Amino acid sequence: MRRIFEITISSFKIALQELWTNKLRTFLSLFGVTIGIFCIISVLATVNSLENNIQAEIRSLGTNTIYIDKWDYAAGGGHDYPWWKYVKRPSPKFSELREIRKRTQTSDHAAFVINTTMNADVGDNSLSNVVVYGVTEEFSLIQPVEIQIGRYITDAEFGLGTNSVVIGNEIAEKLFGEARLAIGKQIGLRGKKLKVVGVIKKQGSQLIGGWRFDKAVVIPYRFARNIMNERRADPLILVKGKEHLSGKAVKDELKSVMRSLHRLSPTEEDDFALNDVSDFSDALSQAFVSVNIGGWAIGALAFVVGIFGVANIMFVTVKERTSQIGLKKALGARNGMILAEFLLEAAFLCIFGGLIGLFLVFILTQIVTAALNFPIYLSVGIMFLAIIICIIAGILAGFIPALRAAKMDPVVAIRSK
């Protein structure tokens, strides 16, 4: 063990000397490794950050949650999309919510939601395309609504269908100047006055849309019926399964209940869709696998060039140190020790190139994050992966030169100049 440690330290020192003595040659040879690591890690970091952000947005739609709708969210929108079939389906009804609560054993919470866009008015100030959600009591238990200022709508206000409303941060700032000034004030929606009781915490830009709470208002369902045409307000039912149950178990029970409510015979196909949030997450993970493969392919091209560069350095190094190799072998150094010394040196050279690449990626992530307001970060796992790649590349690049050094005849090597 001590001997291995000594060889490692010696190889590290020799690699540093090689870098310092032949700066230009080493830099040009390691440039391929640097660019290869830069390409691979920058793509992986970007894709990983993008996937994590989108997955977080999907999780914000509710964990273990089923969206009962007439539209199948996974059906897509291409030429083969049977749009006509979904249009003819009946929309979810508020009366079905009560039956679902009564008949299901796997559900924990259930809520009914309708939504539309309309203008919001405060005096002479008007804001267009405001998303208005009319929801029932358990909506916030399925889809958390974080309140920044004020409070959320109470159960009593839901039951009575009062004119209480919580509004998005962006709406509060545009209509009242500051979010804190909105509490207790009134806003107009289609001629009705509503009292602001809370402002929703700012969410920021979203990649997949989601609930868009920054540009939305949430009101009790019983009040929403006064300002919306429920049949044209995209009604849907949200069902959150119990924690210890899988989404499949919840969907199976809901399917049975919905077929019973719609009085479908065994031969008739479903006229409703059960959209599981976890299915979106799984599909997204599969899609990003292909993107990651593309990133590896891009970086591999540059990395191959880098490996040849390091191999070139090692061939030159072996030639320059031929007499030293012969002297070491004459003093008792075994072939394995010579082989390990040059392999470690090649690995250290690749690590240096990789660290430069990682530093460049770090600078890039800071620039992109600041410019686009989109967080890109280097995880510990990705940095560890970069070091492993460099070590493997160093071993591959240095194996043939190191093997040649290990097999040298000590007498011939000492006599060489």
pLDDT band for position 323 (50/70/90)?
Answer: confident
Q: How many CB atoms lie within 10 A of CB 248?
A: 12
- What is the Cα–Cα distance from 135 to 68, expressed in whole angstroms? 14
The whole-number pLDDT of residue 349 equals 80
- Predicted confidence (pLDDT) at residue 60 exceeds the cutoff of 70: no
Contact at 8 Å (CB) between 225 and 180? Answer: no
- Tell me which residue of 350, 339, 357, 351 sits closest to 402, measured CA to CA: 339
Segment 166-171 mean pLDDT:
92
Cβ–Cβ < 8 Å for 347, 314: no
Label the pairing between strands 107-122 and 186-189.
antiparallel
Decide if pLDDT at 77 tops 60. Answer: no
User: What 8-state DSSP symbol labels residue 97?
Assistant: H
Q: Which residue has the higher pLDDT, 387 or 14?
A: 387
335, 406 contact by CB (below 8 A): yes
What is the reported pLDDT for 152? 95
DSSP letter at 231 equals: G
Average pLDDT, integer, range 89-103: 91
Q: What DSSP character marks residue 233?
A: S
- Contact assessment for residue 115 and residue 132, using Cβ atoms and an 8 Å cutoff: yes
Q: Are strands 192-200 and 164-167 parallel, antiparallel or unpaired?
A: parallel
Higher pLDDT among residues 125 and 194, named by residue: 194
Q: Which amino acid is at 201?
A: K
CA distance 389 to 129: 50
Is the predicted pLDDT of residue 303 greater than 90, yes or no? no
User: Bridge partners of 150?
Assistant: 198
Tell me: pLDDT of 76 over 60: no
Range picked from 47-61, 147-161, 200-214 for highest mean pLDDT: 147-161
Burial string for 193-221 (b: 16+ CB within 10 Å, else e) reads ebebbbbbeebeebeeeebebbbbbbbbb
Q: Determine the average pLDDT of the residues in 202-213.
A: 70
The residues that bridge with 109 in the sheet, in sequence order, are 240
Q: Is the pLDDT of residue 271 over 60?
A: yes
What is the H or E stretch that residue 60 is in? helix 23-60
What confidence score (pLDDT) does residue 216 get?
92
Mean pLDDT for the chain overall: 82
Compute the distance between CA of residue 61 and CA of residue 247 in angstroms, rounded to an integer: 14
Closest CA to 145 of 214, 45, 76: 214
* Whole-number CA gyration radius for the chain: 32
Helix (H/G/I), strand (E/B), else coil: 19: helix
Q: Is 2 exposed, middle or buried (0-12, 13-18, 19+ CB in 10 A)?
A: exposed
372: Cβ contacts below 8 Å, ≥ 6 apart: none
pLDDT at 80 over 80: no
How many other CB atoms sit within 10 Å of the CB of residue 296?
Answer: 13
Task: Summarize pLDDT for 184-202 with one digit per residue, the tens.
Answer: 999 999 989 999 999 999 8
Q: pLDDT at residue 372 above 80?
A: no
